[in-house]
Amino acid sequence: MPIIVNLDVVMAKRKISSGELAEKIGISQANLSILKTGKARAIRFSTLEAICRELDCQPGDILAYVSDKCEEEVLR
């Protein structure tokens, strides 16, 4: 999928664990793991808002668009 989730990068910068973030934004650790691993099909605005609030960042810091061509080149 061309949307890349950089949540783990931002979490590492803020030095926050998955369990702590999940508790603060009010979702389960399993769902946070789905989001971190890029398996999520959609993200609610309320979840995105909570993540940005707790990590003090912008949606663009968490989500990025990479075209299929770029993705293929990176994989090569």
Partner 1 sequence: MWNNRRSVLLSQFCVLLFSAVLLAVIIFAYSLVEWLISFSQAQLQGTEMYFFSTIYLGSLPAALLLYSLFRLLQRISARQMFLPENVDLLRRISWSCFAGSAVCFVSTLYYFPWLLVAVPAGFMGLIVRVVKNVVALGVELQHEADYTV
Q: Which parts of this chain interact with partner 1 (CB under 8 A)?
A: 27, 31-32, 34-35, 39-44, 47
Written as six digits, the tokens of 69 are 């061509």
CB of 62 to partner 1, least distance (A): 12
Smaller CB distance to partner 1: residue 17 or 46?
A: 46
Instruction: Give the three-state DSSP class for 32.
Output: helix
**How large is the angle between the packed helices 7-14 and 29-36, nearest 10 degrees?**
110
CB of 47 to partner 1, least distance (A): 5
Smaller CB distance to partner 1: residue 30 or 74?
A: 30
How many CB atoms are located within 10 Å of the residue 54 CB?
Answer: 17
